[in-house]
Structure 1
Amino acid sequence: MKIAAIQMCSGLDPEANLAALEPLLAEAAAAGARYALTPEVTLIFPENRDQLKSVAAPFEGHPQLARVGDLARQHGMHVHIGSLPIPLEDGRFANRSVLFGPDGAQAATYDKIHLFDADIAGLNAYRESATYKAGERAVTAALGDFTLGFSICYDMRFPRLYNSLANAGATLMAVPAAFTVPTGQAHWHVLLRARAIETGSYVIAAAQGGHHANGRATYGHSLIIDPWGKVIAELDHDRPGVVVAEIDPQAVTEARGRVPALANARDFAAPDLQG
């Protein structure tokens, strides 16, 4: 099966972002992709919470998502919107990933579990949880001969999620992201390759790239990694584009047979705290 990672430079206007996505999906379909993943915050890359409140649409009847469903049906392919903000009753948002089937219907959704809350030396504290509510469940979905495991951006730093997905049958891990340039240069490839190696799974990572209307700069470098940890396709830049690779479920079987880490894993007691 051929799969595609779509790289974007999303801005503040959902309709403009959707217009930018349409030709990229057409390019992926023309290349033979049966599944296409878009980046985190595909349809709106907000500057702040107030801006989110002014443009984020409810999940039911969401106008841009309805159009994405039409595009999935038009191309006869799975289209996976990496994420978009969905308003919740408590005033926060879900960072939600949405998978459409080739029939245009929604096949699965996932809300980002891990949120970036940090006090960084020399910078103001960053509290993603002030704007977003964390998801509470891992999600998989059938995708032809593969089982897709869902994650979003910061999730990639938490191996236990991917171990759980793999043990639930996932053989292809989706990682839509909007990585900053410094963390992308330092950690992007090594983290994604590690997630592929430790689970014996394919990893597809669709990234935001370039300078955005909200003032941020993102790393790009969307890529596809095989179950042995080899990068088999990459956009080696931060501009919009499409990268396609063919994947084979037999490669997952072979990688997990050669290094049976999932089968060999054991529960263990945590160390005692030293007083």
Structure 2
Amino acid sequence: MTTTRVAALQMRSGTDPMRNVADFEALVRDAAGQGATYVQSPEMTGALVRDRASLKALLKPEADDPVALAAARLAGELGIFVHVGSTAIARPDGKVANRGFIFGPDGAKIATYDKIHMFDVDLDNGESWRESATYEPGTAAMLVDLPFARLGMAVCYDVRFPQLFRAQAMAGAQALTMPAAFTRQTGAAHWHVLQRARAIENGAFVISAAQGGVHEDGRETYGHSLIVDPWGRILAEADHDEPAVVIADIDPSASAQARGKVPNLKNARDFEVKVADAETGHRKAS
């Protein structure tokens, strides 16, 4: 059995990117000090700013983004893989990307991923979110071959779209990632079951760093960063919303074992959907 120590960082990012970078660096160093060779931060590591104009005033292009620069430096200095769950990046076309990064032990960028699914919802507690008003959605899923596993990248609201993770699993992903800034309301209702479901149905580890607590811009996030094994068992959790480092040792062979016990990926079949009309008895494709 060959295990790898992985870490999920729970943060409470505010409106000052440089202060958030300092908090991020301290947590990365803490995780590396505990032996983690892969460290993941949450969605919007660089800043959580609800006001669109204020957020855009803080934006930098990828080459100058302080979170990306810090992550590259830390990865190279500590000799680890640093996965920035996401941060807001100014695109060359004037739009904004909710972008994740993975940097290798040499400090070089390995991959990026732009969040595909936009959180455009009205919650029953009065909260309203329109991510599509600020961010340009990504169009491509991303897999990364790391020494310990083939890893799928995703961000937050993506977790509610199981077809993304099924596609990654079918392409060989042994670990799935869902760094997030889940609202407190939706997190309390759905966070754990969604993470465990994605792990079980794909026979894959799930690593999900989260934002937690009351933020400077007034939003509340759920916390409870998780690492889940391919059988759906929670290996490690921050069972609160305070900043924390969550650590677990994972063995990628557990993914193959889970898929051998329940070979649903292998047994999947294509099908069509039909609708029966109760009045006419006719059937038609939906």
- Is the TM-score greater than 0.5? yes
Pairing partner for 1:13 from 12, 16, 20: 16
Which residue is equivalent to 1:26? 29
Alignment CA distance shift 1:80-1:258 (3 Å): same
Within 2, Cα distance between the matches of 1:231 and 1:247? 12
Letter in 2 for 1:240: P
2:165 is the counterpart of 1:146: no
- Aligned 8 A contact 1:36 1:79 in 2: yes
How many correspondences in the alignment? Answer: 275
Shift of 1:23: 1.4
1:111 aligns with 2:145: no
Partners of 1:240 and 1:122 lie apart in 2 by 25
Q: Which runs of 4+ in 1 moved over 6 A?
A: none
Match of 2:193 in 1: 190
1:220 alignment partner in structure 2? 223
Q: Distance in 2 between matches of 1:125 and 1:246?
A: 38
Are positions 1:251 and 2:263 aligned together?
no
Which piece of structure 1 moves more, 57-66 or 104-113? Answer: 57-66
Say if 1:124 and 1:9 are closer, same or farther in 2 by CA, change over 3 A: closer
Matches within 5 A, 1:86-101: 86-89=89-92, 91-101=94-104
Question: Percent of counterpart pairs with the same letter?
Answer: 51
Q: Does 1:206 align with 2:209?
A: yes
Q: 1:79 aligns with which of 77, 82, 88?
A: 82
Q: Given that residues 13 and 211 in structure 2 are in contact (C-alpha distance below 8 angstroms), is that contact kept between their aligned partners in structure 1?
A: yes
Deviations 1:67-112 (A, max 9, x none): 2211111111000000011123554311000000011111000000
- What's 1:68 paired with? 71
Residue 152 of structure 2 is aligned to residue 178 of structure 1: no
Q: Secondary structure at the match of 1:107?
A: strand
Structure 1 unaligned spans of 5+: none
| Equivalent residues of 1:92, 1:130 under 8 A apart | no
- What 5-or-longer segments of structure 2 have no aligned partner? 280-286
Distance 2:127 2:245 in 1: 35
SS in structure 2 at match of 1:242: strand
Task: Kindly provide the amino acid, as one letter, of the partner of residue 117 in structure 1.
Answer: D
Task: After TM superposition, give the deviation of residue 43 of structure 1 in Å.
Answer: 0.8
Match of 2:234 in 1: 231
Using the alignment, how far apart are the partners of 2:144 and 2:51 within structure 1? 32
Per the alignment, do residues 67 and 185 of structure 1 end up closer, same or farther by CA in structure 2, a change over 3 Å counting? same
Cα distance in 1 for residues equivalent to 2:92 and 2:177 = 28
**Distance 1:73-1:89 versus aligned 2 partners, 3 A rule:** closer
How far the C-alpha of 1:66 sits from its partner, in A, is 1.5
User: SS at 1:60's partner residue?
Assistant: helix
**Alignment pair present for 1:38 and 2:41:** yes
1:22 deviates by: 1.2
Task: Answer with 1 or 2: which has the greater Rg.
Answer: 2
Distance 2:122 2:199 in 1: 30
Q: How far apart, in 2, do the equivalents of 1:189 and 1:124 lie? A: 21
**Corresponding residue number in structure 1 for 2:7:** 4
- Counterpart of 1:267 in structure 2 is 270
Q: So what's the TM-score if we normalise by structure 2?
A: 0.92
Q: What amino acid is aligned across from residue 140 of structure 1 in structure 2?
A: L
Give the 3 Å change call, closer, same or farther, for CA 178–122 of structure 1 in structure 2.
Answer: closer
